[in-house]
C-alpha cells in the first residue's frame, strides 16, 4: 500500500510566493511493521552485509549515567507479549510470569558486553527518491550503537554505503548487542513506503521580514507554519530540520568546515498521536486515517524528539554528525 500525505491545509507558497526558492524535497519513509528481507529497504530490518566483513563495534565512550540497561532479547520478547494481548485485556498468569522473567534478564544485562552495532535502516537508492550516494553505491546502511553517548545522551549512528551486487554471501545470523541503554532504541522491523513531499525551512532560516509577515498572517489564519505548512514529521530523507529545541544552526563538517546537509531524520513519531486537522496530525497519511499507530518503529529519541543525521556535501568520506531536536 502506498502512503499519501494530505495536501497542506494552505499552500504557503501561494500566500507568500517569495518563499518558493526555499522549498526543498524530502522523502518521507513511512515505515510500517512488516517482515523486510536483506533485499528490501527497511527500518529495523536485516542488512545486506557481507559475511566476510567484520560487523562494527562501537568504540566511543558511553554515557551510562542513566544507570539503566536492558537486554535486547528480553525487550523483543516483551513486545511480542504486549502485541499478543487483546486490547483492554489483562495479561494471563503465564504472560505475567514471562514478563517477570524478562525483567530478571534486564537486571542481569551485562553493560560491559561488546557494544555491537545494531541495524537501524537500509535504504536502496532505487526506493528513495532524492537519496544520492558515492559513485557505484546503490544502498545506504545505517547502524547505531544503542547506548547513550555524550553530549546528548543519544545513540551513535554509523553510515555504510555499498554496491549491493558486491554482496554475495550475507552475514547470518545478523550480529546485535546484548545490551542497550533504553528500550526505545530498538527499531521494530518495518517496510517502507517512500513518498516525496515539499518542505519549507524552519522559520529562523527565513529572511527576517518574511518571518514577521508569516507571524502576522498566523494571527488571523489557523494553520501553523511550523507544524502544518513547512516541516514533515517522522522518518525522512533530506528536507529541512526542525530546530524547536533551539540552536538553529546546521553543523559544520569536522574535516572541511562545510555546512552539512540533513541526510536522515530518525523521529519518535510519524505524526501527532491525535490524527486530525490540528497540529502535526494533519501529516497522517490518507491511508492511515484514524490510526493511532503514530510510532510504528517504536524508536523514541529523548522526550519525543528526533535525531538528525547530517552529512558533508563535499565528501562521503567525511564523518557524519548528529543533532537531537
Ligand atoms: Zn557506543
Ligand atoms: Zn567535509
The C-alpha cell at 215 is 507571524
Give me the residues paired with residue 227 across strands.
none
The distance in angstroms from the start CA to the end CA of the chain is 30
Question: How would you list the strands of the sheet with 195-199, edge to edge?
Answer: 195-199, 24-28, 236-238, 261-267, 306-311, 321-324
Phi-psi region of 10 (alpha: psi -120 to 50; beta: other; left: phi over 0): beta
Ligand 2 centre to CA of 137 (Å) is 19
Per DSSP, 164 falls in state G
pLDDT tens track for 64-108: 887 789 999 999 999 999 999 988 899 999 999 999 999 999 999
Closest CA to 55 of 166, 188, 158, 186: 158
Question: What pLDDT, on the 0 to 100 scale, is given for residue 23?
Answer: 97
pLDDT tens track for 5-48: 999 999 999 999 999 999 999 999 999 999 999 999 999 999 99
Give the whole-angstrom CA distance, residue 11 versus residue 31. 26
The ligand with the least distance to the CA atom of 179 is 1
Ligand 1 centre to CA of 110 (Å) is 14
Ligand 1 centre to CA of 296 (Å) is 24
Interhelix angle 93-108/72-84, rounded to 10 degrees, is: 160
Give the whole-angstrom CA distance, residue 99 versus residue 108. 14
Ligand 2 centre to CA of 250 (Å) is 13
Q: What percent of the chain has pLDDT over 90?
A: 82
Q: What is the mean pLDDT of residues 165-182?
A: 95
- Show the CA angle centred on residue 269, arms to residues 286 and 320, nearest 5°: 120
* Cα–Cα separations (whole angstroms), residue 105 to 4, 69, 99, 100: 41, 10, 10, 9
Question: What pLDDT, on the 0 to 100 scale, is given for residue 273?
Answer: 62
Mean pLDDT for the chain overall: 93
- The answer to whether residue 132 scores a pLDDT higher than 60 is yes
Ligand 1 centre to CA of 253 (Å) is 21
Number of CB atoms found within 10 A of residue 136's CB: 10
pLDDT tens track for 36-52: 999 999 999 999 999 99
Give the whole-angstrom CA distance, residue 197 versus residue 294. 18
Amino acid at each position: 500500500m502506498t502512503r499519501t500525505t494530505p495536501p497542506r491545509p494552505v499552500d504557503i507558497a501561494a500566500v507568500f510566493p517569495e518563499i518558493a526558492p526555499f522549498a526543498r524535497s524530502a522523502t518521507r519513509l513511512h515505515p510500517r511493521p512488516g517482515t523486510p528481507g536483506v533485499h528490501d529497504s527497511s527500518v529495523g530490518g536485516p542488512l545486506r552485509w557481507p559475511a566476510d566483513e567484520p560487523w562494527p563495534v562501537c568504540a566511543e565512550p558511553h554515557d551510562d549515567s542513566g544507570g539503566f540497561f536492558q537486554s535486547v532479547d528480553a525487550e523483543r520478547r516483551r513486545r511480542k507479549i504486549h502485541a499478543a494481548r487483546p486490547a483492554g485485556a489483562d495479561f494471563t498468569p503465564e504472560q505475567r510470569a514471562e514478563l517477570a522473567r524478562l525483567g530478571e534478564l534486564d537486571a542481569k544485562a551485562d553493560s560491559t558486553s561488546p557494544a555491537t552495532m545494531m541495524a537501524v535502516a537500509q535504504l536502496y537508492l532505487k526506493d528513495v527518491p532524492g537519496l544520492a550516494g558515492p559513485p557505484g553505491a546503490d544502498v545506504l546502511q545505517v547502524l547505531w550503537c544503542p547506548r547513550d553517548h555524550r553530549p546528548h545522551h543519544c545513540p551513535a549512528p554509523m553510515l555504510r554505503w555499498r554496491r549491493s551486487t558486491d554482496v554475495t554471501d550475507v552475514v547470518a545470523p545478523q550480529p546485535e548487542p546484548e545490551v542497550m541503554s533504553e528500550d526505545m532504541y530498538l527499531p521494530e522491523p518495518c517496510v517502507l513506503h517512500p513518498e516525496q513531499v515539499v518542505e519549507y525551512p524552519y522559520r529562523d532560516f527565513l529572511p527576517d521580514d518574511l518571518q514577521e509577515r508569516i507571524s502576522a498572517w498566523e494571527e488571523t489564519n489557523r494553520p501553523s507554519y511550523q507544524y502544518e505548512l513547512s516541516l514533515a514529521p517522522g522518518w525522512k530523507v533530506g528536507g529541512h530540520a526542525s530546530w524547536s529545541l533551539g540552536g538553529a544552526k546546521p553543523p559544520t563538517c569536522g574535516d572541511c568546515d562545510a555546512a552539512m546537509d540533513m541526510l536522515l531524520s530518525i523521529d519518535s513519531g510519524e505524526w501527532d498521536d491525535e490524527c486530525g486537522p490540528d497540529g502535526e496530525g494533519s501529516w497522517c497519511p490518507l491511508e492511515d486515517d484514524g490510526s493511532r499507530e503514530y510510532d510504528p518503529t517504536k524508536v523514541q529519541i529523548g522526550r519525543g524528539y528526533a535525531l538528525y543525521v547530517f552529512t558533508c556535501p563535499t565528501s562521503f568520506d567525511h564523518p557524519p554528525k548528529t543533532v537531537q531536536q
